[in-house]
Amino acid sequence: MNTMDKSMSLTGQPPKALNTGQKLATLIGMSGLGILVLNLFNLDFENSGLWLSIALIAIFAGVVWFSKAAYAHKEKGIKNDGVWFKSISSRGVLAWIAGIALTGFYVVLYFYPQYLGLVKDGENTGVIALFDPLSKLLSGNPASQWFVYGTLYTVAILAFGIKFMWKYRHNRYEKIRTVSVMFFQTAFAFIIPEIMARLNGDLPYYDLKNMWPLNYYNFERYRINGFIENGNIGLAMLIFGILSIFVISPILTYKYGKRWYCSWVCGCGALAETAGDSFRQLSDKSKFAWNVERWVVHSVVVFVTLMTTAVIYSYLGNDSSKYWLTKSTFLIGVASILTLVFAWVMIFKRQELQKDAKYGAIGYFTIIIVLIGMHVFSGEGNIFLFKSESLRKTYSFLIGSIFSGVIGTGFYPIFGNRVWCRFGCPMAAILGFQQRLFSKFRITTNGGQCISCGNCSTYCEMGIDVRAYAQKGENIVRSSCVGCGICSAVCPRGVLKLENGPQKGRINPTEVLLGNDVDLMDLVNDK
Q: Which residues bind ligand SF4 (CB under 6 A)?
A: 443, 450-456, 460, 462, 464, 466-467, 470, 476, 481-487, 491-493, 495-496
Is 204 or 485 the residue whose CB approaches ligand SF4 more closely? 485
Q: Dihedrals φ, ψ of 298, to 5°?
A: -75, -30
- Residue with smaller CB distance to ligand SF4, 430 or 464: 464
Q: Is the CB of 384 or the CB of 438 nearer to ligand SF4?
A: 438
Q: How far apart are CA 17 and CA 399, in angstroms?
A: 40
Q: How far is CA 56 from CA 61, 63, 148, 291, in A?
A: 8, 11, 11, 42
Q: Which is nearer to ligand SF4, 127 or 464 (CB)?
A: 464
Indicate the residue type of 231. Answer: G
Cβ neighbour number for residue 23 with a 10 Å cutoff: 12
Let me know if 59 is exposed, middle or buried by CB neighbors in 10 A (0-12, 13-18, 19+): buried
Distance CA 131, CA 35 (A): 12
What is the amino acid identity at position 109? Answer: L
Nearest approach in angstroms of CB 304 to ligand SF4 is 23
CB 470, min distance to ligand SF4, A: 4
Nearer to ligand SF4, 39 or 445 (CB): 445
Q: Find the shortest distance in angstroms from Cβ 461 to ligand SF4.
A: 6
What secondary structure does DSSP assign to 103-138, as a single string? HHHHHHHHH-GGGGT--TTS---HHHHHHHHHHHHH
Question: Nearest distance from residue 422's CB to ligand SF4, in Å?
Answer: 9
Q: How far is the CB of 262 from ligand SF4 (least distance, A)?
A: 9
Q: How far is the CB of 165 from ligand SF4 (least distance, A)?
A: 17
Strands (E), 312-353: none
Closest CA to 189 of 301, 270, 292, 125: 270
354-387 burial, b at 16+ Cβ within 10 Å, e below that, comes to: eebeebbeebbebbeebbeebeeebeeebbeeee
What is the closest distance, in whole angstroms, from the C-beta atom of residue 289 to ligand SF4 in the complex? Answer: 14
Measured from the CB atom, is 141 or 471 closer to ligand SF4?
Answer: 471
Instruction: Compute the least distance from the CB of residue 459 to ligand SF4, in Å.
Output: 6
Least CB distance to ligand SF4 at residue 276 (A):
13
CA distances from 17 to 85, 160, 163, 253, 324 (A): 11, 21, 19, 44, 69
Q: What residues contact 434, with CB distance under 8 A and at least 6 apart?
A: 250, 253, 254, 258
d(CA 149, CA 405): 11
Q: Report the residue number, 181 or 487, with the smaller CB distance to ligand SF4.
A: 487
Cβ neighbors of 149 (< 8 A, separation 6 or more) are 109
Nearer Cβ to ligand SF4 (395/469):
469
Query: Minimum Å distance from CB 255 to ligand SF4?
Result: 17
CB neighbours of 176 closer than 8 A, spacing ≥ 6?
none
Residue 504 amino acid letter: K
Nearer to ligand SF4, 86 or 472 (CB): 472
Nearer to ligand SF4, 163 or 422 (CB): 422
* Residue 432 C-beta: closest distance to ligand SF4, Å: 11
For ligand SF4, give the closer residue by CB, 177 or 327: 177
Residue 305, classified by CB atoms within 10 Å of its CB into exposed (0-12), middle (13-18) or buried (19+), is buried
By beta-carbon proximity to ligand SF4, the closer residue of 374 and 450 is 450
Q: Which residues of 93-127 are buried (b: 16+ CB within 10 A; e: fewer)?
A: eebeebbeebbebbbebbeebeebbbeeeeebbbb
How near is the Cβ of 187 to ligand SF4 at its closest, in Å?
25
